[in-house]
Protein backbone atom coordinates (compact mmCIF):
# COMPACT_ATOMS: atom_id res chain seq x y z
CA UNK A 1 0.00 0.00 0.00
CA UNK A 2 3.00 2.33 0.53
CA UNK A 3 3.56 2.44 -3.19
CA UNK A 4 0.28 4.35 -3.50
CA UNK A 5 1.77 7.24 -1.52
CA UNK A 6 4.73 7.47 -3.83
CA UNK A 7 3.26 7.15 -7.30
CA UNK A 8 2.25 10.20 -9.30
CA UNK A 9 -1.31 10.05 -10.57
CA UNK A 10 -2.79 12.06 -13.43
CA UNK A 11 -6.57 12.22 -13.87
CA UNK A 12 -7.83 13.69 -17.16
CA UNK A 13 -11.57 14.40 -17.21
CA UNK A 14 -13.51 17.35 -18.64
CA UNK A 15 -16.54 16.87 -16.34
CA UNK A 16 -15.70 18.77 -13.14
CA UNK A 17 -17.98 16.75 -10.86
CA UNK A 18 -16.55 13.48 -12.08
CA UNK A 19 -13.00 14.80 -11.89
CA UNK A 20 -13.58 15.79 -8.27
CA UNK A 21 -15.13 12.39 -7.53
CA UNK A 22 -12.27 10.45 -9.12
CA UNK A 23 -9.78 12.45 -7.07
CA UNK A 24 -11.77 11.71 -3.89
CA UNK A 25 -11.81 7.98 -4.58
CA UNK A 26 -8.12 7.90 -5.38
CA UNK A 27 -7.28 9.76 -2.17
CA UNK A 28 -9.46 7.43 -0.12
CA UNK A 29 -7.64 4.52 -1.78
CA UNK A 30 -4.35 5.96 -0.51
CA UNK A 31 -2.96 7.86 -3.48
CA UNK A 32 -1.49 11.21 -2.48
CA UNK A 33 0.29 12.73 -5.44
CA UNK A 34 -2.65 13.48 -7.71
CA UNK A 35 -2.61 15.87 -10.65
CA UNK A 36 -5.81 16.97 -12.35
CA UNK A 37 -6.40 18.02 -15.96
CA UNK A 38 -9.72 19.22 -17.37
CA UNK A 39 -8.68 19.16 -21.00
CA UNK A 40 -6.09 17.72 -23.36
CA UNK A 41 -3.87 20.84 -23.28
CA UNK A 42 -3.55 20.76 -19.47
CA UNK A 43 -2.87 17.01 -19.67
CA UNK A 44 -0.02 17.51 -22.14
CA UNK A 45 1.50 20.22 -19.93
CA UNK A 46 1.41 17.96 -16.86
CA UNK A 47 2.85 15.02 -18.79
CA UNK A 48 5.73 17.25 -19.90
CA UNK A 49 6.38 18.52 -16.36
CA UNK A 50 6.06 15.31 -14.34
CA UNK A 51 6.91 11.65 -14.74
CA UNK A 52 3.44 10.22 -14.36
CA UNK A 53 3.17 6.65 -13.08
CA UNK A 54 -0.59 6.17 -13.25
CA UNK A 55 -3.07 7.90 -15.53
CA UNK A 56 -6.86 7.71 -15.66
CA UNK A 57 -8.00 9.39 -18.84
CA UNK A 58 -11.29 10.11 -20.54
CA UNK A 59 -11.27 9.80 -24.34
CA UNK A 60 -13.71 12.40 -25.67
CA UNK A 61 -12.60 15.99 -25.28
CA UNK A 62 -13.75 19.11 -27.15
CA UNK A 63 -10.39 19.55 -28.90
CA UNK A 64 -7.83 16.73 -29.04
CA UNK A 65 -9.06 13.34 -27.79
CA UNK A 66 -7.35 11.36 -25.01
CA UNK A 67 -5.93 8.79 -27.41
CA UNK A 68 -4.23 11.52 -29.44
CA UNK A 69 -2.74 12.99 -26.25
CA UNK A 70 -1.28 9.60 -25.29
CA UNK A 71 -0.03 8.99 -28.82
CA UNK A 72 1.96 12.23 -28.60
CA UNK A 73 3.15 11.28 -25.11
CA UNK A 74 4.40 7.93 -26.44
CA UNK A 75 6.45 9.70 -29.08
CA UNK A 76 8.10 11.78 -26.34
CA UNK A 77 8.54 8.70 -24.14
CA UNK A 78 6.13 10.09 -21.59
CA UNK A 79 3.64 7.20 -21.49
CA UNK A 80 2.49 6.57 -17.90
CA UNK A 81 3.42 3.20 -16.40
CA UNK A 82 -0.24 2.33 -15.95
CA UNK A 83 -2.62 3.97 -18.38
CA UNK A 84 -6.35 3.37 -18.11
CA UNK A 85 -8.93 4.93 -20.40
CA UNK A 86 -12.38 5.60 -18.93
CA UNK A 87 -15.07 6.71 -21.33
CA UNK A 88 -18.82 6.88 -21.92
CA UNK A 89 -18.48 5.97 -25.59
CA UNK A 90 -15.51 4.64 -27.44
CA UNK A 91 -14.77 4.94 -31.12
CA UNK A 92 -11.52 3.00 -30.74
CA UNK A 93 -10.88 -0.73 -30.56
CA UNK A 94 -8.95 -2.09 -27.57
CA UNK A 95 -5.95 -2.83 -29.83
CA UNK A 96 -5.81 0.81 -30.86
CA UNK A 97 -5.87 1.91 -27.22
CA UNK A 98 -3.16 -0.59 -26.30
CA UNK A 99 -1.06 0.69 -29.17
CA UNK A 100 -0.75 4.06 -27.36
CA UNK A 101 0.19 2.32 -24.11
CA UNK A 102 -3.16 1.62 -22.43
CA UNK A 103 -3.48 -1.33 -20.01
CA UNK A 104 -7.24 -1.38 -20.05
CA UNK A 105 -10.41 0.43 -21.07
CA UNK A 106 -13.24 0.91 -18.57
CA UNK A 107 -16.64 1.85 -19.94
CA UNK A 108 -18.69 4.32 -17.92
CA UNK A 109 -20.40 4.03 -15.50
CA UNK A 110 -17.42 2.72 -13.59
CA UNK A 111 -17.37 1.08 -10.20
CA UNK A 112 -14.37 2.64 -8.49
CA UNK A 113 -13.84 -0.35 -6.25
CA UNK A 114 -13.19 -2.48 -9.34
CA UNK A 115 -10.98 0.20 -10.82
CA UNK A 116 -8.79 0.36 -7.70
CA UNK A 117 -8.58 -3.44 -7.60
CA UNK A 118 -7.43 -3.46 -11.22
CA UNK A 119 -4.81 -0.77 -10.54
CA UNK A 120 -3.52 -2.79 -7.58
CA UNK A 121 -3.26 -6.01 -9.57
CA UNK A 122 -1.61 -4.20 -12.49
CA UNK A 123 0.94 -2.58 -10.20
CA UNK A 124 1.78 -5.92 -8.58
CA UNK A 125 2.19 -7.50 -12.02
CA UNK A 126 4.51 -4.74 -13.25
CA UNK A 127 6.47 -4.74 -9.99
CA UNK A 128 7.04 -8.51 -10.05
CA UNK A 129 8.08 -8.32 -13.73
CA UNK A 130 10.65 -5.65 -12.85
CA UNK A 131 12.02 -7.79 -10.00
CA UNK A 132 12.30 -10.81 -12.31
CA UNK A 133 14.06 -8.69 -14.91
CA UNK A 134 16.57 -7.39 -12.37
CA UNK B 1 -52.36 -12.84 -74.98
CA UNK B 2 -52.06 -9.32 -76.36
CA UNK B 3 -53.39 -7.96 -73.10
CA UNK B 4 -50.86 -9.92 -71.04
CA UNK B 5 -48.10 -8.79 -73.40
CA UNK B 6 -49.13 -5.17 -72.96
CA UNK B 7 -49.41 -5.62 -69.17
CA UNK B 8 -46.04 -7.32 -68.91
CA UNK B 9 -43.96 -5.33 -71.34
CA UNK B 10 -45.50 -1.90 -71.10
CA UNK B 11 -47.90 -1.24 -68.22
CA UNK B 12 -45.81 -2.94 -65.55
CA UNK B 13 -42.88 -0.64 -66.28
CA UNK B 14 -44.55 2.38 -64.85
CA UNK B 15 -46.32 5.52 -65.95
CA UNK B 16 -43.29 7.20 -67.55
CA UNK B 17 -42.61 4.26 -69.82
CA UNK B 18 -46.26 3.97 -70.86
CA UNK B 19 -46.28 7.65 -71.81
CA UNK B 20 -43.08 7.15 -73.75
CA UNK B 21 -44.52 4.28 -75.79
CA UNK B 22 -47.79 6.00 -76.67
CA UNK B 23 -46.04 9.21 -77.58
CA UNK B 24 -43.73 7.40 -79.94
CA UNK B 25 -46.61 5.47 -81.50
CA UNK B 26 -48.38 8.75 -82.08
CA UNK B 27 -45.29 10.28 -83.68
CA UNK B 28 -44.84 7.24 -85.91
CA UNK B 29 -48.44 7.61 -87.02
CA UNK B 30 -47.74 11.22 -87.83
CA UNK B 31 -44.72 10.37 -89.94
CA UNK B 32 -46.48 7.42 -91.60
CA UNK B 33 -49.48 9.51 -92.41
CA UNK B 34 -47.36 12.15 -94.06
CA UNK B 35 -45.30 9.60 -95.94
CA UNK B 36 -48.28 7.64 -97.17
CA UNK B 37 -50.14 10.67 -98.35
CA UNK B 38 -47.26 12.44 -100.02
CA UNK B 39 -46.07 9.23 -101.64
CA UNK B 40 -49.55 8.31 -102.69
CA UNK B 41 -49.19 4.95 -101.06
CA UNK B 42 -52.48 4.70 -99.27
CA UNK B 43 -54.36 1.44 -99.95
CA UNK B 44 -57.27 3.31 -101.33
CA UNK B 45 -57.87 5.70 -104.17
CA UNK B 46 -57.46 9.34 -103.20
CA UNK B 47 -60.09 11.45 -104.75
CA UNK B 48 -58.76 14.27 -106.93
CA UNK B 49 -60.59 16.88 -104.91
CA UNK B 50 -58.97 15.58 -101.78
CA UNK B 51 -55.52 15.38 -103.36
CA UNK B 52 -55.07 19.15 -103.23
CA UNK B 53 -55.41 19.04 -99.49
CA UNK B 54 -52.62 16.51 -99.01
CA UNK B 55 -49.91 19.11 -98.42
CA UNK B 56 -52.13 20.92 -95.91
CA UNK B 57 -52.74 17.67 -94.08
CA UNK B 58 -49.04 16.92 -94.08
CA UNK B 59 -48.41 20.39 -92.62
CA UNK B 60 -50.90 19.64 -89.85
CA UNK B 61 -49.47 16.19 -89.17
CA UNK B 62 -45.92 17.45 -89.04
CA UNK B 63 -47.00 20.29 -86.78
CA UNK B 64 -48.26 17.65 -84.38
CA UNK B 65 -44.82 16.08 -84.46
CA UNK B 66 -43.49 19.37 -83.09
CA UNK B 67 -44.75 18.25 -79.70
CA UNK B 68 -42.22 15.51 -79.61
CA UNK B 69 -39.38 17.35 -81.28
CA UNK B 70 -39.73 20.46 -79.15
CA UNK B 71 -39.29 18.43 -76.03
CA UNK B 72 -36.14 16.75 -77.25
CA UNK B 73 -33.77 18.86 -79.28
CA UNK B 74 -33.69 22.00 -81.38
CA UNK B 75 -32.19 20.47 -84.51
CA UNK B 76 -35.18 18.24 -84.84
CA UNK B 77 -37.38 21.27 -84.34
CA UNK B 78 -35.73 23.05 -87.22
CA UNK B 79 -36.07 19.92 -89.30
CA UNK B 80 -39.78 19.77 -88.67
CA UNK B 81 -40.16 23.46 -89.53
CA UNK B 82 -38.34 22.80 -92.76
CA UNK B 83 -40.57 19.83 -93.61
CA UNK B 84 -43.64 21.97 -93.02
CA UNK B 85 -42.20 24.72 -95.13
CA UNK B 86 -41.34 22.17 -97.78
CA UNK B 87 -44.89 20.88 -97.83
CA UNK B 88 -46.13 24.44 -98.05
CA UNK B 89 -43.80 25.09 -100.95
CA UNK B 90 -45.18 22.02 -102.72
CA UNK B 91 -48.68 23.30 -102.11
CA UNK B 92 -48.07 26.65 -103.70
CA UNK B 93 -45.38 25.99 -106.26
CA UNK B 94 -45.69 22.26 -106.87
CA UNK B 95 -41.99 21.97 -107.42
CA UNK B 96 -39.19 20.10 -105.81
CA UNK B 97 -36.46 22.64 -105.11
CA UNK B 98 -32.85 21.64 -104.70
CA UNK B 99 -32.24 24.11 -101.88
CA UNK B 100 -34.64 22.21 -99.72
CA UNK B 101 -32.87 18.96 -100.42
CA UNK B 102 -29.58 20.44 -99.25
CA UNK B 103 -31.07 22.02 -96.16
CA UNK B 104 -33.00 18.85 -95.38
CA UNK B 105 -29.81 16.81 -95.61
CA UNK B 106 -27.80 19.16 -93.47
CA UNK B 107 -30.42 19.15 -90.76
CA UNK B 108 -30.62 15.37 -90.80
CA UNK B 109 -26.89 15.33 -90.14
CA UNK B 110 -27.32 17.84 -87.34
CA UNK B 111 -30.14 15.79 -85.88
CA UNK B 112 -28.00 12.68 -85.84
CA UNK B 113 -25.20 14.60 -84.12
CA UNK B 114 -27.52 15.51 -81.25
CA UNK B 115 -27.96 11.80 -80.67
CA UNK B 116 -24.22 11.15 -80.55
CA UNK B 117 -24.44 10.09 -76.92
CA UNK B 118 -27.09 7.52 -77.74
CA UNK B 119 -25.14 5.18 -79.89
CA UNK B 120 -27.91 3.18 -81.55
CA UNK B 121 -29.94 6.22 -82.50
CA UNK B 122 -26.85 7.99 -83.75
CA UNK B 123 -25.89 5.16 -86.08
CA UNK B 124 -29.45 4.77 -87.23
CA UNK B 125 -29.82 8.40 -88.12
CA UNK B 126 -26.53 8.37 -89.99
CA UNK B 127 -27.83 5.42 -91.99
CA UNK B 128 -31.19 7.13 -92.51
CA UNK B 129 -29.46 10.31 -93.62
CA UNK B 130 -27.30 8.56 -96.19
CA UNK B 131 -30.29 6.61 -97.53
CA UNK B 132 -32.44 9.72 -97.65
CA UNK B 133 -29.76 11.70 -99.49
CA UNK B 134 -29.32 8.91 -102.02
CA UNK B 135 -33.00 8.58 -102.69
CA UNK B 136 -33.55 12.30 -102.89
CA UNK B 137 -30.71 12.77 -105.36
CA UNK B 138 -32.18 9.98 -107.47
CA UNK B 139 -35.62 11.52 -107.18
CA UNK B 140 -34.42 14.86 -108.57
CA UNK B 141 -33.65 13.10 -111.83
CA UNK B 142 -36.67 10.84 -111.76
CA UNK B 143 -39.70 12.29 -110.03
CA UNK B 144 -41.46 8.95 -110.11
CA UNK B 145 -38.82 7.64 -107.77
CA UNK B 146 -39.65 10.42 -105.30
CA UNK B 147 -42.28 8.20 -103.77
CA UNK B 148 -39.48 5.93 -102.50
CA UNK B 149 -38.28 8.76 -100.32
CA UNK B 150 -41.67 8.74 -98.67
CA UNK B 151 -41.50 4.97 -98.48
CA UNK B 152 -38.21 5.30 -96.63
CA UNK B 153 -39.91 7.55 -94.10
CA UNK B 154 -42.61 4.94 -93.60
CA UNK B 155 -40.06 2.20 -92.99
CA UNK B 156 -37.65 4.22 -90.94
CA UNK B 157 -40.07 6.00 -88.62
CA UNK B 158 -41.25 3.03 -86.56
CA UNK B 159 -37.69 1.71 -86.34
CA UNK B 160 -36.55 5.11 -85.07
CA UNK B 161 -39.45 5.11 -82.65
CA UNK B 162 -38.51 1.67 -81.27
CA UNK B 163 -34.89 2.64 -80.96
CA UNK B 164 -35.83 5.82 -79.21
CA UNK B 165 -38.08 3.92 -76.81
CA UNK B 166 -35.27 1.57 -75.86
CA UNK B 167 -32.85 4.45 -75.63
CA UNK B 168 -35.26 6.51 -73.56
CA UNK B 169 -35.89 3.50 -71.36
CA UNK B 170 -32.18 3.24 -70.69
CA UNK B 171 -32.12 6.94 -69.83
CA UNK B 172 -35.13 6.45 -67.58
CA UNK B 173 -33.44 3.57 -65.79
CA UNK B 174 -30.26 5.61 -65.48
CA UNK B 175 -32.13 8.53 -63.96
CA UNK B 176 -33.91 6.11 -61.60
CA UNK B 177 -30.56 4.68 -60.61
CA UNK B 178 -29.22 8.19 -60.01
CA UNK B 179 -32.23 8.87 -57.78
CA UNK B 180 -31.62 5.61 -55.92
CA UNK B 181 -27.96 6.50 -55.47
CA UNK B 182 -28.96 9.93 -54.17
CA UNK B 183 -31.36 8.30 -51.69
CA UNK B 184 -28.64 5.85 -50.67
CA UNK B 185 -26.20 8.71 -50.18
CA UNK B 186 -28.77 10.57 -48.11
CA UNK B 187 -29.42 7.47 -45.99
CA UNK B 188 -25.67 7.06 -45.42
CA UNK B 189 -25.47 10.67 -44.33
CA UNK B 190 -28.44 10.19 -42.00
CA UNK B 191 -26.85 7.07 -40.53
CA UNK B 192 -23.60 8.94 -40.06
CA UNK B 193 -25.43 11.72 -38.23
CA UNK B 194 -27.32 9.20 -36.12
CA UNK B 195 -24.05 7.51 -35.20
CA UNK B 196 -22.61 10.84 -34.13
CA UNK B 197 -25.78 11.62 -32.15
CA UNK B 198 -25.77 8.16 -30.56
CA UNK B 199 -22.14 8.39 -29.50
CA UNK B 200 -22.59 11.89 -28.09
CA UNK B 201 -25.71 10.85 -26.16
CA UNK B 202 -24.03 7.72 -24.79
CA UNK B 203 -21.15 9.83 -23.56
CA UNK B 204 -23.39 12.52 -22.06
CA UNK B 205 -25.53 10.01 -20.18
CA UNK B 206 -22.76 7.65 -19.06
CA UNK B 207 -20.74 10.45 -17.45
CA UNK B 208 -23.43 11.54 -14.92
CA UNK B 209 -24.22 7.85 -14.32
CA UNK B 210 -20.60 7.34 -13.35
CA UNK B 211 -20.84 10.26 -10.94
CA UNK B 212 -24.02 8.84 -9.38
CA UNK B 213 -22.41 5.43 -9.00
CA UNK B 214 -19.26 7.00 -7.57
CA UNK B 215 -21.13 8.96 -4.90
CA UNK B 216 -23.23 5.95 -3.92
CA UNK B 217 -19.95 4.11 -3.45
CA UNK B 218 -18.90 7.01 -1.23
CA UNK B 219 -22.02 6.54 0.87
CA UNK B 220 -21.12 2.88 1.20
CA UNK B 221 -17.56 3.76 2.19
CA UNK B 222 -18.98 6.16 4.77
CA UNK B 223 -20.74 3.24 6.43
CA UNK B 224 -17.83 0.82 6.38
CA UNK B 225 -14.69 2.93 6.56
CA UNK B 226 -15.75 5.93 8.67
CA UNK B 227 -15.42 8.30 5.77
CA UNK B 228 -17.12 11.51 6.88
CA UNK B 229 -20.51 11.87 5.25
CA UNK B 230 -20.77 15.07 3.35
CA UNK B 231 -24.27 16.28 2.54
CA UNK B 232 -22.97 17.47 -0.78
CA UNK B 233 -22.80 13.81 -1.89
CA UNK B 234 -26.58 13.70 -2.05
CA UNK B 235 -26.73 17.05 -3.81
CA UNK B 236 -24.18 15.88 -6.35
CA UNK B 237 -26.28 12.79 -7.06
CA UNK B 238 -29.38 14.96 -7.50
CA UNK B 239 -27.48 17.23 -9.86
CA UNK B 240 -26.46 14.31 -12.05
CA UNK B 241 -30.04 13.01 -12.14
CA UNK B 242 -31.21 16.42 -13.31
CA UNK B 243 -28.49 16.39 -15.96
CA UNK B 244 -29.71 13.04 -17.27
CA UNK B 245 -33.28 14.30 -17.18
CA UNK B 246 -32.28 17.27 -19.34
CA UNK B 247 -30.88 14.89 -21.91
CA UNK B 248 -33.97 12.70 -21.91
CA UNK B 249 -36.14 15.83 -22.19
CA UNK B 250 -34.11 16.82 -25.22
CA UNK B 251 -34.64 13.38 -26.70
CA UNK B 252 -38.36 13.55 -26.00
CA UNK B 253 -38.58 16.93 -27.70
CA UNK B 254 -37.35 15.22 -30.89
CA UNK B 255 -40.58 13.28 -30.93
CA UNK B 256 -43.19 14.76 -33.31
CA UNK B 257 -46.07 14.13 -30.96
CA UNK B 258 -45.91 16.68 -28.12
CA UNK B 259 -48.65 14.81 -26.26
CA UNK B 260 -46.15 12.06 -25.53
CA UNK B 261 -44.06 14.44 -23.45
CA UNK B 262 -46.19 14.01 -20.37
CA UNK B 263 -45.20 14.47 -16.76
CA UNK B 264 -46.24 12.14 -13.95
CA UNK B 265 -49.86 13.24 -14.01
CA UNK B 266 -52.16 12.95 -16.99
CA UNK B 267 -55.81 13.23 -17.87
CA UNK B 268 -58.02 10.18 -17.81
CA UNK B 269 -58.85 10.50 -21.50
CA UNK B 270 -55.20 10.39 -22.41
CA UNK B 271 -54.72 7.32 -20.24
CA UNK B 272 -57.57 5.53 -21.92
CA UNK B 273 -56.41 6.24 -25.45
CA UNK B 274 -52.81 5.44 -24.61
CA UNK B 275 -53.56 2.24 -22.73
CA UNK B 276 -55.88 0.95 -25.41
CA UNK B 277 -53.40 1.68 -28.19
CA UNK B 278 -50.56 0.24 -26.20
CA UNK B 279 -52.36 -2.99 -25.36
CA UNK B 280 -53.69 -3.58 -28.85
CA UNK B 281 -50.29 -3.00 -30.41
CA UNK B 282 -48.12 -4.79 -27.88
CA UNK B 283 -50.27 -7.85 -27.36
CA UNK B 284 -51.68 -8.17 -30.88
CA UNK B 285 -55.02 -9.30 -29.57
CA UNK B 286 -57.68 -10.13 -32.12
CA UNK B 287 -60.80 -9.17 -30.28
CA UNK B 288 -60.37 -7.03 -27.28
CA UNK B 289 -63.25 -5.01 -26.05
CA UNK B 290 -62.20 -2.46 -23.53
CA UNK B 291 -64.79 -0.55 -21.64
CA UNK B 292 -63.62 2.34 -19.57
CA UNK B 293 -65.74 3.74 -16.81
CA UNK B 294 -64.42 6.91 -15.35
CA UNK B 295 -65.28 10.24 -13.94
CA UNK B 296 -64.20 12.80 -16.50
CA UNK B 297 -63.87 15.59 -14.00
CA UNK B 298 -61.31 13.84 -11.89
CA UNK B 299 -57.62 14.33 -12.59
CA UNK B 300 -55.80 11.08 -11.99
CA UNK B 301 -52.28 11.11 -10.77
CA UNK B 302 -51.08 8.04 -12.49
CA UNK B 303 -47.73 7.30 -13.98
CA UNK B 304 -48.21 6.18 -17.52
CA UNK B 305 -45.30 3.75 -17.51
CA UNK B 306 -46.74 1.85 -14.56
CA UNK B 307 -50.17 1.77 -16.11
CA UNK B 308 -48.80 0.19 -19.25
CA UNK B 309 -46.87 -2.36 -17.29
CA UNK B 310 -49.75 -3.33 -15.05
CA UNK B 311 -52.26 -3.75 -17.84
CA UNK B 312 -49.78 -5.45 -20.14
CA UNK B 313 -48.84 -7.93 -17.44
CA UNK B 314 -52.49 -8.64 -16.75
CA UNK B 315 -53.43 -9.19 -20.36
CA UNK B 316 -50.32 -11.24 -21.15
CA UNK B 317 -51.62 -13.88 -18.84
CA UNK B 318 -54.64 -14.52 -20.99
CA UNK B 319 -54.32 -16.88 -23.91
CA UNK B 320 -54.86 -14.87 -27.05
CA UNK B 321 -57.18 -17.38 -28.61
CA UNK B 322 -59.92 -16.21 -26.31
CA UNK B 323 -62.56 -14.50 -28.35
CA UNK B 324 -64.87 -11.80 -27.14
CA UNK B 325 -62.65 -10.73 -24.32
CA UNK B 326 -64.62 -8.05 -22.53
CA UNK B 327 -62.72 -6.08 -19.99
CA UNK B 328 -63.99 -3.24 -17.92
CA UNK B 329 -61.50 -0.77 -16.53
CA UNK B 330 -63.06 1.37 -13.87
CA UNK B 331 -61.33 4.44 -12.56
CA UNK B 332 -62.40 6.00 -9.35
CA UNK B 333 -60.93 8.38 -6.84
CA UNK B 334 -59.35 5.64 -4.81
CA UNK B 335 -58.63 2.79 -7.10
CA UNK B 336 -58.52 1.28 -10.55
CA UNK B 337 -60.52 -1.85 -11.14
CA UNK B 338 -59.68 -4.19 -13.94
CA UNK B 339 -62.72 -6.40 -14.35
CA UNK B 340 -63.42 -9.33 -16.63
CA UNK B 341 -66.99 -9.96 -17.50
CA UNK B 342 -68.07 -13.58 -16.81
CA UNK B 343 -64.65 -15.06 -16.47
CA UNK B 344 -64.03 -18.75 -16.79
CA UNK B 345 -62.08 -20.88 -14.34
CA UNK B 346 -58.90 -20.56 -16.36
CA UNK B 347 -59.01 -16.82 -15.94
CA UNK B 348 -59.64 -17.09 -12.22
CA UNK B 349 -56.43 -19.06 -11.74
CA UNK B 350 -54.56 -16.62 -13.93
CA UNK B 351 -55.71 -13.67 -11.91
CA UNK B 352 -54.21 -15.11 -8.76
CA UNK B 353 -50.90 -15.55 -10.55
CA UNK B 354 -51.09 -12.01 -11.82
CA UNK B 355 -51.68 -10.55 -8.38
CA UNK B 356 -48.63 -12.28 -6.99
CA UNK B 357 -46.53 -11.16 -9.96
CA UNK B 358 -47.56 -7.53 -9.68
CA UNK B 359 -46.90 -7.49 -5.97
CA UNK B 360 -43.48 -8.97 -6.54
CA UNK B 361 -42.59 -6.07 -8.75
CA UNK B 362 -43.13 -3.63 -5.91
CA UNK B 363 -45.48 -1.25 -7.58
CA UNK B 364 -47.02 1.16 -5.19
CA UNK B 365 -50.45 -0.19 -5.86
CA UNK B 366 -51.87 -2.81 -3.57
CA UNK B 367 -53.54 -5.64 -5.38
CA UNK B 368 -56.76 -7.18 -4.25
CA UNK B 369 -58.91 -9.67 -6.02
CA UNK B 370 -62.23 -8.16 -6.82
CA UNK B 371 -65.34 -10.28 -6.98
CA UNK B 372 -68.94 -9.56 -7.68
CA UNK B 373 -71.81 -11.67 -8.97
CA UNK B 374 -70.77 -11.52 -12.59
CA UNK B 375 -67.40 -9.89 -12.59
CA UNK B 376 -63.95 -10.88 -11.44
CA UNK B 377 -60.94 -8.77 -11.52
CA UNK B 378 -58.09 -6.97 -9.91
CA UNK B 379 -58.47 -3.88 -7.86
CA UNK B 380 -55.48 -1.60 -7.75
CA UNK B 381 -55.50 0.70 -4.76
CA UNK B 382 -52.95 3.36 -4.07
CA UNK B 383 -50.86 2.44 -1.06
CA UNK B 384 -51.83 5.46 1.01
CA UNK B 385 -55.49 4.62 0.53
CA UNK B 386 -55.12 1.26 2.21
CA UNK B 387 -56.55 -1.99 0.93
Tell me the average pLDDT of chain A: 90
Confidence of residue B384 (pLDDT cuts 50, 70, 90): very low
Interface test with B, best of A1, A24, A28 (most B CBs within 10 A): A24
Distance from CA of A130 to the nearest CA of B (A): 33
Helices B15-38 and B54-72: crossing angle in degrees, nearest 10, is 150
Distance from CA of B274 to the nearest CA of A (A): 34
Contact A60 B203 (CB under 8 A): yes
* pLDDT digit string, tens, across residues B18-35: 665 565 555 555 555 555
Using the predicted structure, report yes or no on whether residue A47 has a pLDDT greater than 80.
yes
Tell how far CA B92 is from the center of its chain.
58
Residues on chain B touching A112 (C-beta within 8 angstroms): 213-214, 217
The answer to whether B240 faces chain A, any CB pair under 8 Å, is yes
Using the predicted structure, report yes or no on whether residue A115 has a pLDDT greater than 90.
yes
Using the predicted structure, report yes or no on whether residue B75 has a pLDDT greater than 50.
no
Confidence of residue B285 (pLDDT cuts 50, 70, 90): very low
Confidence of residue A118 (pLDDT cuts 50, 70, 90): very high
Tell me the average pLDDT of chain B: 61
Interface of A with B (CB under 8 A): 15, 17-18, 21-22, 24-25, 28, 60, 86-89, 91, 107-113
Strands of the B288-293 sheet, one edge to the other: B288-293, B325-331, B335-341, B375-382, B365-371
- Look at residue A11 in the predicted model and tell me its pLDDT: 96
Output B350 or B256, whichever has higher pLDDT: B350
The answer to whether B210 faces chain A, any CB pair under 8 Å, is yes
Alpha-helix residue ranges (DSSP H) falling in chain A: 2-6, 16-28, 40-49, 66-75, 94-99, 112-133
Angle at A116 between CA A110 and CA A122, to 5 degrees: 115
Long-range contacts of B233-242 (CB under 8 A, 24+ apart): B236/A17, B236/A21, B236/B211, B237/B211, B237/B212, B239/A17, B240/A17, B240/B208, B240/B209, B240/B211, B240/B212, B240/B215, B241/B208, B241/B212
- Look at residue B42 in the predicted model and tell me its pLDDT: 55
Among candidates B206, B225, B227 on the partner chain, residue whose Cβ is nearest the Cβ of A89: B206
Q: How much of chain B, in percent, has pLDDT values that exceed 90?
A: 1
- Look at residue A50 in the predicted model and tell me its pLDDT: 92
Confidence of residue A12 (pLDDT cuts 50, 70, 90): very high
Using the predicted structure, report yes or no on whether residue B277 has a pLDDT greater than 50.
yes
- Look at residue B256 in the predicted model and tell me its pLDDT: 45
Using the predicted structure, report yes or no on whether residue B257 has a pLDDT greater than 70.
no
- Is pTM beyond 0.80? Reply is no
Confidence of residue A127 (pLDDT cuts 50, 70, 90): confident
Using the predicted structure, report yes or no on whether residue B362 has a pLDDT greater than 50.
no
Contact B211 A25 (CB under 8 A): no
Contact A21 B240 (CB under 8 A): no
Using the predicted structure, report yes or no on whether residue B266 has a pLDDT greater than 80.
no
Ranking A68-82, A108-122, B327-341 by mean pLDDT, the lowest is B327-341
CB-CB contact of A84 with A118 (8 Å): yes
* pLDDT digit string, tens, across residues B119-170: 666 666 666 656 655 665 565 566 566 555 555 555 555 556 556 656 666 6
Amino acid sequence: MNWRKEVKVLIIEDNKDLLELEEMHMRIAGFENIFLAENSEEAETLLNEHKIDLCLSDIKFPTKDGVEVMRNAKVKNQTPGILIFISGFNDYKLDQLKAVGACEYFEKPVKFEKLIQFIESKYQELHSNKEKAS
Amino acid sequence: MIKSFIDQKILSRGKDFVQLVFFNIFCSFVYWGWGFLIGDLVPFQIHDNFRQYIPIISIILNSCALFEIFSIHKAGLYLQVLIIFHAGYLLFFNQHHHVFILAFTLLLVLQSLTFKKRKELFLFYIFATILSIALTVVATYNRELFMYNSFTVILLSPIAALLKISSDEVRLLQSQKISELKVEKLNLKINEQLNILGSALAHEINTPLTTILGYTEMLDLYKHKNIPLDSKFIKKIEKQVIQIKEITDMLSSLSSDPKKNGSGGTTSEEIIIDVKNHLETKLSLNKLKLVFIYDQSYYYEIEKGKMYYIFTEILKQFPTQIEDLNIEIKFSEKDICFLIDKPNELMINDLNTMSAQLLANNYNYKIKNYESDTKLGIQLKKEDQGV
